[in-house]
Amino acid sequence: MRTDLFDFELPSDRIALRPASPRDSARMLVVGPGAALRDHRVVDLPQLLRPGDQLVVNDTKVISAQLAGRRIGRETEPKIEATLIKRLDASRWQALVKPAKKLAPGDVVRFGHEGRVCLLGHLDAEVEHKGEDGEVTLSFSFHGPALDSAIADLGSPPLPPYIAGRRATDERDVADYQTMFAEREGAVAAPTAGLHFTPALEAALRKHGIGIERITLHVGAGTFLPVKAQDTSLHKMHSEWGAVRGETADALNAARARGGRIVAVGTTSLRLLESAATEDGTVAPFAGETSIFITPGYRFRAVDILLSNFHLPRSTLFMLVSAFSGLETMKRAYAHAIESGYRFYSYGDACLLFRDRSIA
């Protein structure tokens, strides 16, 4: 499909720079069967679902993947910013760096500041390989838990560029950019639909007979990237590591057999569930990489309802929700959201999408 079909105009003042407080007070646009639009709040979720439905949340935890440092060992020492995007092994990470033109294979970058924890307050990494678009492979001087501790001490949350470009990261973001389900470290971006949940909302859902199951997908920085190819078939999807544990798959299959619906909290949960599902919709245990790219025409197998934030124009995520509920329906829903003052992107409001079974 043509990528420009997924374009739309978004006023800059619709981009949320802070989350709603409390989190479940965020607005939620319900896109129901028949493309009906209704304005609600996330706190209304228990009343919009049925007893027996199963929410599936992503329990990945965002690491402090944003590092600042300088190139050392040459005559000049330019400042370098790096965003870790994928762990390769115990001591190596793929990273996006700026300015990439200042680095070459064999260069050493020193991250951190004197006087901090982490030995002398710094962390060295050698540029092992340099790819395209600012991507490099960094081989760190520490490995394993020692490296994880150093990154946690010296790094900061990697806010999406549409937020970081408008204000500096601060201490509030350390808590704000983490879901209440965060448990398994490895993401460099938050599964943002999960940011709307509070302990009170979880209790209300369970009281209403709605279950909550956890899966893990370590979200990569590619989630922020627009599709640059003119046709979606030419886009190369980034891969991410995920896991659906056996007991979780059993619980979801049992709930569906009883008539319950599977509600994916976020596109990350949906992508992993669809990667794990068999042709007949059974959710199987899964552990590994997925690069599933969902565009209109995809036949959904596992997910019935999707809770999601509002996404970037031309992004793989807007393509995904268009596949789920219909492109024209989502364009109309987004136009309504913009006109009605909904807040967009990671810290923004939500939409609850019921799958359009007439298209897939």
**pLDDT at residue 182, rounded to an integer:** 97
Distance CA 262, CA 252 (A): 7
State the span(s) of the chain assigned CATH 3.40.1780.10: 3-62+174-354
- Please report the pLDDT score of residue 11 as a whole number: 93
Cα separation, 349 vs 241, in Å, equals 27
pTM, 2 dp: 0.91
The half-sphere exposure of 87 on its side-chain side, counting CA atoms within 13 A, is 19
Q: Specify whether the CB–CB gap between 352 and 307 falls below 8 A.
A: yes
Short-list 260, 266, 270, CA closest to 292:
270
3-state secondary structure of 306: strand
CA-to-CA dists, residue 231 to 2, 235, 331, angstroms = 5, 7, 19
Dihedral sign from CA coordinates of 6, 29, 59, 274: negative
Measured CA to CA, the distance from residue 194 to residue 232 in angstroms comes to 27
Q: State the fold for domain 3-62+174-354.
A: QueA-like (3.40.1780)
3 state SS of 252:
helix
The CATH 2.40.10.240 portion of the chain extends over 66-155
Write down the residue that tokens 């560029």 correspond to: 161
Task: Report CA Rg, the chain.
Answer: 21
Burial of 58 (0-12, 13-18, 19+ CB in 10 A): buried
From residue 285, how far is each of 67, 77, 209, 263, 302 by CA, in Å?
35, 48, 24, 18, 13
Which homologous superfamily is 66-155 in?
A: QueA-like (2.40.10.240)
Q: What's the confidence (pLDDT) of residue 117? A: 44
Cis-peptide into 105, omega within 30 deg: no
Sheet holding 27-31, edge to edge: 37-41, 27-31, 350-354, 305-309, 262-265, 54-58, 211-217, 240-244, 286-290
265 beta partners: 307
Per-residue pLDDT, 8:
94
* pLDDT for 360: 56
Buried b vs exposed e over 290-316: b needs ≥16 C-beta within 10 Å?
A: bebbbbbebebbbbbbbbbbbbbebbb
Cα distance between residue 231 and residue 342, in whole Å:
29
**Structure confidence at residue 113 (pLDDT):** 66
Please choose, from the candidates 54, 36, 111, the residue with its C-alpha nearest in 3D space to the C-alpha of residue 262: 54
Compute the distance between CA of residue 41 and CA of residue 161 in angstroms, rounded to an integer: 27
* Tens digit of pLDDT at every position of the chain (360 positions): 999 999 999 999 999 999 999 999 999 999 987 778 999 999 999 999 999 999 999 999 999 999 999 999 998 999 999 999 888 999 999 999 999 999 999 999 999 865 444 445 689 999 999 987 778 999 999 999 999 999 989 998 888 878 888 888 888 998 999 999 999 998 989 999 999 999 999 999 999 999 999 999 999 877 666 788 899 988 888 889 999 999 999 999 999 999 999 999 999 999 999 999 999 999 999 999 999 999 999 999 999 999 999 999 999 999 999 999 999 999 999 999 999 999 999 999 999 999 988 875
The sign of the torsion formed by the CA atoms of 312, 315, 317, 320 equals positive
Residue 134 is predicted with a pLDDT of 75
DSSP β-ladder status, 305-309 and 262-265: parallel
DSSP 120: T
